[in-house]
Every structure is written in structure tokens, then in C-alpha cells.
Amino acid sequence: MTSTRESQQQRNIREFMENYTINDPSANQQEDLERIRFILKHRPAPPVSEYQFNEMTEEVIITNRNKERIGDCTVCCFEFPIDTEAIKLPCKHYFHYDCITQWLNLHSVCPNCRFQLPSQDFEYDQMKRIVDQHDKQSKDDYYDDDERGDKKSYYSRSKNSYMYS
């Protein structure tokens, strides 16, 4: 019974994502965005695919020269022995191979900074992109409005200062 319900939920999410566009000026856009945020909040991040892991990570040999800069593995809290390999994520954090593979089998984010890595689930990645794109667009709109407001207040101040001089 639960597998039928889960598959129905997955079908509903898939249908919703296929019909959603970020540039849709409809009144339901904000409601849709809140629905996506709700889904992301209550759905665990899927694991990273093995292909993406191999493409996005870099193996680094620990030497006396780079040991201080790299620090310790924050998953297991042990230091890296000299002449061993560490895995470097795109966000520039380093981990033991076993530690980070176990972590990324459960999550698709860096354990240090929560940098989002591509996951095995296309729908999840698509929802994250929609939310990130909307947040970036909202942030840009906010700064554009703020800049216009600053210029306007600057001009109004300069006009007023000339009025009294």
C-alpha cells in the first residue's frame, strides 16, 4: 500500500515539474514555488551518482607542504597521514575516500559547507535549480531596486541641498 502511495506522489511531483516554468507570470507561481520548497524541505537529498562523483572530485596526495592547509577530515575528525590520498570536492574541502563516499551515498551536499552536488535524482536537481534561480532573480531584483532607490534619494538630496544654498 505504501509503495503505491509513494509512486503516486512521485507521479504527481513529476507531472508538476514537467508543467512548471520559472518565467510563468501566472498568479500561481509563488504558490508553486512554496510547494517546491515544501517538497525539498521534507524530502531527503538523494545521493550523488558514481559518475558525478568521479567527474567532480579530485585526488590529492598529502605531503608535508600541503598538510597544514588541508587540515583534518571533518567526517571522521582524523588527520590525513603523509603520502596518502585525500578527495577534494569542487568546494575545495578535503576528505578521506571512505568517509566522503559513505557520506555521499546518503547526501548530495558537502558535509562542511552544504555545497550542492548533482544527485542521482533528476527531479530533485531540477527543483533545486528552480528555487535557486528564483532566489537569485529575487536577489538581483532587490539590488536593482535598491540601486535605483539610492540614486533617487541622492538626486532628491542634492536638489534639496541646492534649494537651501
pLDDT of 49 above 50: yes
For residue range 54-106, list pLDDT tens digits in order: 888 899 999 988 888 888 998 999 999 999 999 999 999 999 999 999 998 88
Domains within the chain, CATH numbers bracketed: 39-140 (3.30.40.10)
At 102-115, the pLDDT tens digits run: 998 888 889 998 88
Range name among 26-40, 50-64, 115-129 with the lowest pLDDT average:
26-40
Q: Read out DSSP for 41-90?
A: HTSPPPPBPHHHHHHH-EEEE--HHHHHHH-B-TTT--BPPTT-EEEE-T
pTM: 0.60
- DSSP E strands in the chain: the ranges are 58-61, 85-88, 94-95
Cell of 95: 576528505
The residue whose grid cell reads 500500500 is 1
Residue 40: Cβ within 10 Å count: 15
What is the DSSP secondary structure assignment for residue 93, as one 8-state letter?
Answer: -
| Cβ proximity of 22 and 134 under 8 Å | yes
- Work out the pLDDT band at 24, boundaries 50, 70, 90: low
Residue 162 has pLDDT above 50, yes or no: no
